[in-house]
Chain A
Amino acid sequence: MILRWWLSTSALLSSLTIVLVFGFLLQSSWPLIQQQGITFIIGDEWYPFESLYGMLPALVGTVWAVALALLIALPCGVAAAILCAELLPAQLRGAMRFSMELMAGVPSVVYGLLGMWVLLPLLESQLDLLTGRTLLAAGLLLALMILPTIMVLSEDAIRAVSQSQREAAKNLGIGWDAMLWRVLLPQAWPGIRVATLLATGRAMGETVAVMLVVGSIDRIPDPFYNFLQPAQTLTSRIGREMAEASIGSLHWAALLFCGLLLAIIAIGLSLLIQRKVVAA
């Protein structure tokens, strides 16, 4: 009886937490919504002193940074996972996996410092830029940070493909490379997809490291595909300005609305993951 009560209360509290988080974010950003509607989401100017809270530059920056990170980390991570799961001897595989797990455990601020001290000067010198603080820098750094997630989970998914599936393909005279494309990757795809979604969630929510390298300039890249310009992301804006905003002000509400946007996107991703996992 006590056990049941304890389990039920714990479950209820866990469920309530997410409701409370959403409630808090919505309630805190409500003054802004009340005053400006929701059109500020597509506004492209962010001047708190003039009560302009356009979210579009940060949204575009976030999407760009995450897309770049995925574009780099997904092929690299899956390739490393294939190598690890299929080709490396057990000892090397263990070493590689261990190093990836270590990478996943490194605090993000360390990545940020690494980005500042190594990546930014490198981009400046190699691409002849005035500043290395660009969307590309944020994308590269995020790619490095989500690589372990993609690699480790994808490797698990590939190794989970049963030996009998492999033998069934072998029995048809299908070589390893064809088996990779036609058996291993399709069978492992649900796992790789989950890894990608989790990595996307992490990349989207990353604050400190991105804040240190993205440039934090509130404008949409011109042209919009130019990732060699400084930009802003939702998280870097929150991280940079939260200390300056007075509690209860519109600025405060706008920053919390950034958090609400991130939470909505993260919840959407989680729901997507759950649906895909159930389907798989």
Chain B
Amino acid sequence: MVADLRHDDFLQAEPAGPLESSQNQPSAVLTVEKLALSLAGKEILQQVDFSLSAIGVTSVIGPSGAGKSSLLRCLNGLESGWTGGVKIDGNDIRQWPGGWDQLRRHVGLIAQKPLVFNTSIRANVCFGLHGWRQRRRADGLVKASLQQAALWDEVADRLDAAATTLSVGQQQRLCIARAIAIKPKILLLDEPTASLDPLSKQLIEQSMLQLAQQIPLICVTHDLEQAQRLKGQVIFMCDGRVIEQAASDQFFRQPQQIETREFLRWSVCDCD
């Protein structure tokens, strides 16, 4: 179902900001150092440290309230009151040319609840493109993005239909297509398959695995089996801290930390 189309096909045009120099190396490396976030007097993230390789999936797991979603929101600038350092390819995201808006074009975020704009499927995919001329002449990009998101076969003959007529699973894949249409260097996914049917879940995972061959993906999930299926790295968070980071096989076979073992055994964190 997922088309064999390389992400590079549409990564060729106008990257902006510090990544301009890395046309032949579209993927980015993310480094997070001592990241801390407090909201309303509560510490959401504490001294979070990790780094990601250029490609592949990194699953972030942990109990509810561990700070997983907040971490993603910090990484693409939706939360800006954090301290510490976040660097993409060595560039501090606070100093990103063009500010947060420009950063978000490089660090896409897919929310848990699929949210399509009240317009056509085609217009949704093109929504992030600058300029109406670019949006009108984006047929190739629309097709490539929808293929990458494993949605093309289902909507090819009705691109001008309202996006709201799609099922929830299709809407989520449309959100993925919309995010990758602006050629992000890193894609963040916040429980992208929560409450979706098994088929939609499978299609989205396939799409993620294919995308992960081109760019780094960070996927927050409560589904431990999904984290295993996605392979790559696994980060376990609890109480706003990174407890353990390891390759998926090693993480699930031989967790090093007591909290991780407890979590995997009971799926309940007992950090205290």
Contacts and interface: CB of A to CB of B under 8 A. Distances in A.
Interface of A: 164-165, 167-175, 178, 182-183, 186-187
A175 B101 contact: yes
B19 to A, nearest CB: 13
A186 B124 CA distance: 14
A167 B130 CA distance: 17
B179 A164 contact: no
Contact of B182 (A164, A172, A183): A172
A64 B265 CA distance: 76
A187 B117 CA distance: 9
Nearest to A171: B109
B76 A171 contact: yes
Given A164-B111, A182-B127, A171 B78 contact: yes
Contacts of B101: 170, 173-175
Given A164-B111, A182-B127, A173 B102 contact: yes
A168 B115 contact: yes
B111 A172 contact: no
Main secondary structure of the interface of A (DSSP, over half): helix
Contacts of B111: 164, 167-168, 171
Contacts of A173: 101-106, 128, 182
B106 to A, nearest CB: 8
Contact of B115 (A164, A175, A178, A186): A164
Interface in B95-114: 101-106, 108-111, 113
Contact of B179 (A172, A174, A175, A186): A172
A86 to B, nearest CB: 16
B68 interface: no
Interface string B57-78: 0000000000000000000101
B179 A171 contact: yes
Nearest to B128: A172
| Most interface-central of B76, B105, B128 (chain A CB within 10 A) | B128
A40 to B, nearest CB: 47
Nearest to B114: A168
Contacts of B115: 164-165, 167-168
Nearest to B104: A173
B241 interface: no
Contact of B178 (A170, A172, A178, A187): A172
B124 to A, nearest CB: 10
Interface in B37-93: 76, 78
Contacts of A167: 78, 111, 115
Nearest to A168: B115
| Most interface-central of A168, A175, A186 (chain B CB within 10 A) | A168
A89 B178 CA distance: 33
20 contacts: A167-B111, A168-B175, A169-B117, A170-B78, A170-B101, A171-B76, A171-B78, A171-B104, A171-B109, A171-B179, A172-B104, A172-B108, A173-B101, A173-B102, A173-B106, A173-B182, A174-B101, A174-B128, A183-B117, A187-B118
